[in-house]
Structure 1
Amino acid sequence: MGWKLKVAGYGKIESAEIEMAPLTLFVGDNNSGKSYLMSLLWGILNLEEVFAGTGSALETEAEEWLLHWVKEQMETAREQGGHTVQASEIGSELQTVLQARIECHKDKLVKAIFNSADVDIKELQIELTGLDDISIGFRAKTSEDKIIFSIRLGNDAKGYVTYFSEKGRMSEDLDESDWDFFVNNIFRFLLNEGRLRTLNKCIYLPAARTGFMLTKDVINKVGRRAAFNIGIETEPLPPFVRPINQFLDVINDLTLDGESNENFAEIVEYLESGMADGTVEMSSLPNKEVTYVPNGKTTGMSLRTVSAVVTELSPLILILKHKKNVGALFYEEPEMCLHPQLQQKMARVLCRLVNAGVQMNVTTHSDIILQHINNMIRLSGREDREEICHQLRYDSRDLLWSEEVKVYQLRAEAGEKTKVEELSCGKNGFAVPTFNDALDRIMDEAYVIQE
C-alpha cells in the first residue's frame, strides 16, 4: 500500500517525485523548499480540499462510474450482509477520479495550506501504488429501523467509516453526495496507509516551535479578543500557515486526564531523563501552562525560564504523553538547539518512533542525525547485530532497515529552481553530497590555515 507524489512548478521547486516511507528525510540547502514539500504532504493527509468530488466541474464519465460502482457494492452488501473486493479491480478508475479531483482543487489546496494565494503550483499528481494488496470491504445491517452502511480497507474492523440511513430503503435514503462520502473515504484510506483518518492525527512540528511554545498563551489571548470583542478597532493580522495553526491547536487541545499515552511511555522517559534532565508537565487549569520540573526537584518552572533544549523538546514530549492518536509526525529540524551528543539521542528517538508505528517525515541539516540512521541501517544487516547491540546498549527498537527509509536532497543554485533528487542507500547507508561538500570545504581550509 502506498502512493507517490509528483509536483512541478511548486514554489522554488522545479519538479519532484516523492514516495513516503516509514522514515522520510528531506535534506539540503536552506531556502530550497524542504518545508514546502513537507507542508504539501501534510496538507494532502489533513485537508479536505484534495478529496472534494461533487459539483458540475467533476461530472465526468469516470466519476459517475465510480459513484455507481460504490452504490452497486452497497446493494450487494445489503443483500449479503457483507461484501469485499480488491482495490486493483477498479485501480484505473480510482486513479482517474483522484487525479481529476486533484487537478480541479490543487490551487485551492495550496492556498489552504499557506493561507495565502502567493504560492503557485503548476502540476500536482498522486499515483496510487500497491493496490493489488488492498481489499475494500462493504457491509450493511439493519438496526432500529435504520440501515447502517460501512466501508473499510484491509482487515481491521476499526477502519470502518459508517453512514447511518434513516428510512430503511437505500434507494430512498442516499443520493449522489452520500455515495461521494464513501468515495472520499476510500481515497482517505488509501492515502493514509489504510488507517482511519482522524482529526489532527498527522501532526506538524514547525521549526519555530520554541517561539510558539513561549507565546502560545499570548497568541490565544489575541485570538480571543479579535473573535469575541465587538467594536474594538484592531489592525488585521496576517494568518499563520495552516500547519502552524494545527500545531497550536494540538498543543492547546491535548487530553489531560491524568493518564499518559502508554504507547510512547519508554520514548518519553528517554526524552525526559536522557535529554531534558527533567519532566515536562501541562497544567489541567484552563490556561494550560507548561512547566518544567528538573530532576531532583518537586516544583515546576515556567518554560520562559528554562534552557532552549527543554523548550525545543517540550512539544514532542507533551504530544507523545497526551495525544491519543499519533499516526504521523512532520518534524522540522529536530536538531534545533541540541548539542551534538543530544542530536544523536534525537536520532535514536526518531528510530524508536518509526518502530512504534509512527510515520516520520523530517527535514534536517544534521549530519549527526543522518549518520546515526545510517549506523542503525548498517547494524540491522549484520549477522552479529545482537552482540553489537548488547555492547552498545541498543535493541531491536533502535534498528532500521534500508527499505524503511527514503532520503531526498534539495539543491538550489543561486537564481535557479530547486532540484530534488532521491538518494540511494548503499552498504553503509545514505551519502548526502550537500553535507559532505561542506565538510570537505572546511577541512580543505583547515589544511591551508594550519599547515
Structure 2
Amino acid sequence: MRRIKSGENNIKQGAYIMTPWKMIVEDFGKIKHAEIETAPFMLFVGDNNSGKSYLLSLLWGIHNIGIDRLIGSTNILETEESYALENWLMKQIQIAQKKGKHNVLLSEIHGLLSSVLNDGLKRYKNRLARWIFNSPDLSIGHIEIEIGDLSKEVLYFQVEAGKVLIFTDGKHKYGLGKHNWDRIEEPNLKSDIWFLITAIYSCVLDIDLGYISDGNIYLPAARTGFMLTKDIINKVGRKNTFNIAEEKEDITPFTRPINQFLDVMGDLALEKKGRDEYRGIADNVEETMAEGTVEINMMPNKEVLYVPQGKKKGMPLRVVSAVVTELSPLILLLKHRQQLDSFYYEEPEMCLHPQLQQKMGRILSRIVNAGIDMTVTTHSDIILQHINNMIKLSRHPQCEELCKKLGYGKSDLLYPEQIKVYQFESKNNRKTVVRELVCRDNGFVIPTFNDALDRIMDESYEIQEQ
C-alpha cells in the first residue's frame, strides 16, 4: 500500500491506493472464464443470468472469509514454498532484532507469496464457495490470484521491548510477543510466524485477517423486500439456521452476503454517527433523490421511518415509495457507519427513473472518491454514461470552468485508473466469458447496451418505412 502524493494522477490527497491484484476464475456457475483486476470502482455489465451476482458474491467472500481461512493454517498448509516463506520471515526478524529497525521490498518474495496463496486456493476453493453461498452444491473449477507489482511495496520491521512489529503503511501494524527468534521449533513460534505471514497477505491484498468485516457490505438486489421484512427475521435464529458450518450439508435459504446485510442493517442505531464525508453524501441522496429523510426511531425495535420534505412525522417503509425503500439501506449506512471499506452493490438503478439514475451515477462517483471501493452490477446505460462524462470532464482542458458551469466539484470527477468495466457475454444461453472493456477517449463503450439500442432502433425504422 502506498500513499498518493498531492496531485499524483489527480487522485484525492491522502488516499491509499492498494496494489491491484487479479482474480482468475473458471467453471464457476454460469461462468466459463473470468479475469478480474481489482480497482476502486468496478462495474459488471451484461445479460441477465450471466453470472454477475455470482462473481460479485465471490469477491465479497474473498474480502471477508479471512486470510487464514482462504489459504489454510500452518498446521494444514505445509509445502516447500510455505517453509521457504517462514524461513525468509525469520531471517528478516533476526536482522531487525540486531538493528532495531529493518525494511525490505516485498518484491523479494513475490513468487513465494503467489505460490503459497494459490496452493491454498486450490485446496480450499470449494470450501470458499460453500461458505459464501451456504450450499454444499457450489463448486469452483479453478481459481487463482495474481498478485500485482510489489516493486514499490516496502515491509517495515520494528523491535520494541523484544516485541516484533511489521507494517506496510505505518498505520496497520501487526505484532508478536517475545520469542527466541533463532529457533523456529520453539513452541508457538511457528504459529506466530504464520500469523505474521497472513498479516503480510492482509496488507498486500487488502483483505482482513478476521471473519466477516462489517466494513465490506453487500447490498442485494432485493433490498426493498429485505428492508420490509428484516425485523421479522430473528437474527439469532438466522445465524443458527441460515449459516451452515463448513462440514454441514444442509441447504439454507440465504447466502452469507445477504445474512451480513441483514445483520449490519439490524445493528444500526440512531446514536451511531457516520463520518462527516459519508453523511454529506447521504444528505445529498435524501435531498435530491428521496425528497425526504430516512431515520431510525429510538424505540427498541429500531423501526426505519421516512420523513417527507416539509413534514415532521415519519412514515413506516411499508407505506412509502419503492424509490425510498431501495435507497434506504445506502442512506442509513452512510449516516450511521463509521467504517465503510467497500460496497458490493447489485443494480443500484433499481426502481429509479432515468433522471434519478443519472443522480445515482453521481452518488456512486462521490462514494468512490470518499475512499469507499465500489463493485457494482448494472443494466443502466445512464449510469455508465454519467461515469463516461465524469472521465471526459476530468481530462478536459477547461475542466474547472465546465465544473462551475455544470455544478460539479472535485468529488464528482473520475479518472480512468480508478475504474474497471467488465462485460459478461453469454451467447445462446451457453457459459459466460467475462471480457474487460477498455477506457477510450470518450470513456467506455458498452456493447451490451449499444447492441440492444441498435436493434430496437432498426426495428423502429423498419416499421416507419412500411
Q: 2:111 aligns with which of 69, 87, 92?
A: 92
How far is the alpha carbon of 1:237 from its aligned partner? 7.7
Q: Deviation digits for residues 120-161 of structure 1, max 9, x if unmatched?
A: 21110100012012111222322xxxx43322123xx32112
How far the C-alpha of 1:290 sits from its partner, in A, is 1.0
Which amino acid in the other structure matches residue 320 of structure 2?
V
Unmatched runs of 5 consecutive residues or more in structure 1 = 228-235
1:169 CA displacement: 4.8
1:5 is matched with which residue?
A: 23
Pairing 1:173-188 to 2, within 5 Å after superposition: 174-188=188-202
User: What letter is aligned with 1:272?
Assistant: E
Matched, 1:272 2:290: no
TM-superposed deviation, 1:418 = 0.5
Structure-2 residue corresponding to 1:24: 42
Counterpart of 2:141 in structure 1: which amino acid? K
Q: How does 1:133-212 map onto structure 2 within 5 Å?
A: 133-142=152-161, 147-154=162-169, 157-163=170-176, 165=177, 169=180, 174-192=188-206, 199-212=213-226
The whole-number CA distance in structure 1 between the counterparts of 2:300 and 2:97 is 48
**Matched position secondary structure for 2:405:** helix
Return the match for 1:371 from 364, 377, 385: 385
Alpha carbons of structure 1 residues 2 and 96: separation in structure 2 relative to 1, 3 Å: same
Work out whether residues 64 and 207 of structure 2, in 8 Å CA contact, stay in contact via their aligned partners in 1.
Answer: no
Q: Which of these residues, 141, 147, 165, is aligned with residue 122 of structure 1?
A: 141
* Number of aligned positions between the proteins: 434
How many angstroms apart in 2 are the aligned matches of 1:174 and 1:237?
Answer: 38
Q: Deviations over 1:186-234 (max 9, x none)?
A: 112211189999822211111111111111011126827977xxxxxxx
Instruction: Measure, in 2, the Cα distance between the counterparts of 1:346 and 1:440.
Output: 25
TM-superposed deviation, 1:173: 6.3
Matched residues in 1 for 2:462 and 2:101: separation? 75
Match of 1:45 among 42, 50, 63: 63
Instruction: Name the counterpart of 1:230.
Output: none
Q: Which residue of 1 aligns with 2:74?
A: 54
Name the counterpart of 1:231.
none
Q: So what's the TM-score if we normalise by structure 1?
A: 0.91
Judged with a 3 Å threshold, the aligned counterparts in structure 2 of structure 1 residues 413 and 224 are, in CA distance, closer, same or farther, namely closer
> 2:276 corresponds to which residue?
262
Query: Where in structure 2 are the equivalents of 1:400-411 lying within 5 Å?
Result: 400-411=414-425
Query: How many angstroms apart in 2 are the aligned matches of 1:334 and 1:253?
Result: 22
The amino acid across from 1:430 in the alignment is F
Contact 2:369 2:411 in 1 (8 A): yes
Classify 1:320/1:69 alpha carbon distance in 2 versus 1 (closer, same or farther; 3 Å): same
- Counterpart amino acid of 1:182? L
Do the aligned partners of 1:389 and 1:395 also contact (CA within 8 Å) in 2?
yes
Higher mean Cα deviation, 279-288 or 289-298?
A: 279-288
Partner of 2:427: 413
How many Å separate the matches in 1 of 2:230 and 2:211? 27
Cα RMSD (Å)? 2.2
Query: CA–CA distance in 2 between the matches of 1:169 and 1:290?
Result: 55
Show the counterpart of 1:288: 302
Displacement, 1:355? 1.1
> What residue identity is the alignment partner of 2:221?
A
